[in-house]
Amino acid sequence: MKDLVQKQLAQSISTLQATMEDRNIADTIVTIAELTANAMLAGRKLMVAGNGGSAADAQHLVAEFVVRLVENRPALRAIALTTDTSIITAAGNDFSYDCIFARQVEALGQPGDVFLGISTSGNSKNILQAVQQAKELNITTVGFTGNGGGRMAALCDHNVIIPSNVTMNIQESHLALEHIFCLGVEHFYFKKETS
């Protein structure tokens, strides 16, 4: 059992290491942090969705924008599309589980917003539908994926593709990058707000 712990930790570290060494990922995080800060400064918002562990990520990240990450500062405009059980069960029950996020994007999304879809496979249909809906509304789309990006890679404006096929390791790198993304948005938002 101790071997399993060591082996799993080594695998987590090696995925994080590969993520760190991928220059595309670092560049994309900077790009999406700046464009999200610009959107928020223009009165727009970030919407985030995911399934399972990635639903938890969506809520975790949004809590940091709305409340705080490290430093106290004003609230930043972000919403997780994973939390309203009445909307999710009604959309899933009356229409299809595939539209549970797209319906919320249709209701809440405005041109100039940013939609972040988190999917380790890049193939979850409810995320793909939400991305399509966002594009129709001129909302910038960002995909956090793994597994080569799946079908999301061709659809999203910006892609962060973790170089792994192991769901839990992809999720671990996503979480690290979500924290860094939040730090980056804070950096650009407060730099531009005061300049």
Please choose, from the candidates 176, 162, 183, the residue with its C-alpha nearest in 3D space to the C-alpha of residue 57.
176
Q: What character string, x for contact with Zn ion (CB under 5 A) and - otherwise, covers 39-68?
A: --------------x---------------
Tokens, residue 107: 């209701």
Q: Under the criterion CB under 5 A, does residue 92 sit at the interface with Zn ion?
A: no
Q: Residue from 15, 19, 28, 119 that binds ligand I22 (CB under 6 A)?
A: 119
Tokens, residue 47: 């919407």
Measured between alpha carbons, how far apart are the two ends of the chain, in Å? 55
Q: Under the criterion CB under 6 A, does residue 173 sit at the interface with ligand I22?
A: no
Q: What is the dihedral of CA 130, 22, 25, 118, to 10 degrees?
A: 30
The response to whether 14 counts as a known ligand-binding position is no
70 binds, among Zn ion, ligand I22, none (CB under 5 to 8 A by kind): none
Element (H, E) at 47: strand 46-50
Residues that bind ligand I22 (CB under 6 A): 51-54, 119-121, 124, 167-168, 171
Q: Which residues are annotated as a binding site for Zn(2+)?
A: 60, 64, 171, 179
Residues that bind Zn ion (CB under 5 A): 53
